[in-house]
């Protein structure tokens, strides 16, 4: 073969299928071989359905932009009738769906060959992927002692290891961007409601959660977003319409932009020195491209937002778990510690607290909108406050859910940037522009004003061209 499966992005692989240089079956063979070679160490790919994939190929794949390219969906929150799911939980193991979600229908229409799912933490509430239902933690192909992030950690690990060229994820507090940062990939969170949630859900976490993709290239994300974007029937709200689309937007650089750079947390606390240095390096790169870069920090109640986020997610977690229990007791053999803690925290909240917390999230969104309205087009920060954490640091054993989220060693201290843009609904992305002295990826985070997805992804493509990352590969994938 004249192509190397683990090194190509999805667009390149689809081009090989289109010219007849390779068949969809051959690409699936390569993906399955990569699973066999790497998944024992990673524990990233689960619930494989090779028969479903072979049948889809035999019956004729849709002639979409990714026809014949192997694909994996996250084992959380994406209903697909041919793909049973554990949803990251022993309580929900082997769930079978009666139909496909709207987004999976759109994903299938691109012509991808879906053959399995990727691991996720229970409830999607962690920055690591170590759910008990999978028998052990998911590990990072850059260094197996470290986490690939969460909650789309299995997706990040699978793409970084070269098992697939791209994969589905979802992002309710950084769950696409954290794995992208941890695994040296590109991850983009669209504007709130840019992608469909239905028909089996109205919204995720009061509108803070949205689907997305882990990719090796900006172009793969752009094309997949265009294929999937738009409200589904009966959606409670939708994003502002796009002008040209993501793929058209990356065909040329954006206008010269005003970029605010913050090399601390959004509350002014210091971050890991190597990460801060990577932020400053990205700022210099943007300045060299002609953008106007100035230090700035949003005036927004970030800590209040995180308290509201914590309460909203606790209530959502409790609702899902109580429904699935069907009257059974909440026991450790069914539900992990952090999730039990989330249920306990939800029980302490006044019945009016959920709506109060949603109101606080909306107020925060207005504060962030005012910051962008008053000057910058883009806010540049790190994606994480430090390089990827070691496996076990964020496992779900503790029942102190609030400390797990907001304590001094908690998720918010580790990931103080991402959730802000789930709360505000703004588009945000993590780009693999940095590396630690130990050889671990460091993601750089860019966020734009609400609805300005095309400006943001165009800037991401300009940075990819200026500082190409396609050749940067995890040792396991080489």
Q: Which residues are catalytic?
A: 74, 151, 175
Burial of 135 (0-12, 13-18, 19+ CB in 10 A): exposed
Tally: H helices and E strands in the chain = 16, 11
> Given strand 210-215, what is the order of strands in its sheet?
166-171, 210-215, 186-189, 428-435, 441-448, 378-382, 258-261, 292-295
Largest CA distance in the chain: 63
Q: Annotate 246-258 with three-state secondary structure.
A: HHHHCCCCCCCCE
Helix spans in 392-437 (H)? 401-406, 411-414, 418-424
Q: What are phi and psi of 294, to 5 degrees?
A: -140, 145
Handedness of CA 317, 319, 323, 326 (dihedral sign): positive
Degrees (nearest 5) of the Cα angle 31, 74, 379? 110
Contact indicator for 168, 213 with CB cutoff of 8 Å: yes
Match 């697939």 to its residue by tokens.
164
Q: Which residue has tokens 């949630």?
A: 197
CB 51 within 8 A of CB 94: no
3-class SS string, 120-182: CCHHHCCCCCCCHHHCCCCCECCECCECCCCCCHHHHHHHHCCCCCEEEEEECCCCCHHHHHH
Q: What angle do CA 232, 235, 237 make, to 5 degrees?
A: 120
DSSP state of 351: T
Token duo for residue 69: 């390219």
């Amino acid at each position: 073969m004249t192509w190397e499966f683990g090194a190509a992005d999805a667009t390149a692989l689809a081009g090989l299928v289109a010219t007849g240089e390779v068949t969809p079956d051959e690409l699936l063979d390569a993906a399955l071989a990569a699973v066999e070679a790497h998944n024992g160490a990673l524990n990233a790919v689960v619930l494989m359905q090779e028969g479903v994939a072979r049948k889809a190929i035999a019956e004729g794949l849709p002639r979409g932009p990714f026809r014949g390219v192997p694909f994996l969906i996250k084992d959380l929150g994406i209903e697909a009738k041919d793909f049973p799911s554990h949803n990251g939980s022993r309580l929900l193991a082997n769930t079978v769906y009666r139909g496909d979600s709207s987004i999976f229908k759109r994903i299938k229409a691109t012509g991808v060959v879906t053959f399995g799912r990727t691991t996720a933490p229970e409830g999607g509430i962690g920055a690591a992927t170590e759910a008990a239902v999978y028998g052990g933690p998911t590990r990072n192909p850059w260094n197996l002692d470290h986490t690939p992030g969460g909650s789309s950690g299995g997706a990040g690990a699978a793409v970084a290891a070269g098992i697939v060229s791209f994969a589905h994820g979802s992002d309710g507090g950084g769950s696409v961007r954290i794995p992208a940062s941890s695994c040296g990939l590109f991850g983009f969170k669209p504007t709130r409601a840019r992608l469909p949630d239905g028909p089996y859900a109205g919204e995720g976490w009061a509108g803070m959660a949205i689907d997305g993709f882990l990719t090796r290239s900006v172009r793969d994300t752009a094309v997949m977003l265009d294929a999937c974007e738009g409200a589904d029937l009966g959606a409670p709200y939708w994003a502002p319409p796009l002008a040209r689309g993501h793929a058209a937007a990356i065909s040329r650089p954006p206008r010269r932009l005003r970029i605010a750079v913050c090399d601390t947390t959004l509350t002014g606390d210091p971050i890991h020195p190597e990460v801060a240095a990577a932020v400053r390096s990205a700022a210099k790169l943007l300045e060299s491209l002609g953008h106007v870069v100035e230090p700035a920090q949003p005036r927004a109640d970030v800590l209040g937002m995180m308290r509201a986020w914590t309460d909203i997610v606790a209530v959502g977690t409790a609702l899902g778990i109580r429904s699935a229990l069907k009257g059974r007791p909440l026991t450790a053999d069914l539900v992990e510690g952090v999730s039990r803690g989330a249920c306990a925290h939800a029980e302490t909240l006044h019945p009016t607290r959920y709506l109060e917390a949603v109101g606080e999230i909306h107020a925060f969104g207005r504060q962030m909108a005012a910051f962008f309205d008053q000057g910058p087009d883009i806010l540049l920060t790190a994606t994480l406050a430090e390089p990827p954490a070691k496996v076990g640091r964020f496992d779900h054993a503790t029942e102190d859910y609030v400390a797990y989220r907001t304590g001094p060693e908690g998720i918010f201290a580790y990931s103080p940037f991402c959730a802000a843009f789930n709360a505000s609904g703004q588009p945000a992305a993590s780009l693999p522009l940095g590396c630690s002295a130990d050889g671990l990826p460091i993601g750089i985070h860019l966020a734009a004003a609400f609805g300005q997805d095309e400006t943001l992804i165009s800037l991401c493509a300009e940075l990819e061209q200026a500082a190409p990352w396609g050749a940067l590969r995890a040792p396991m994938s080489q």
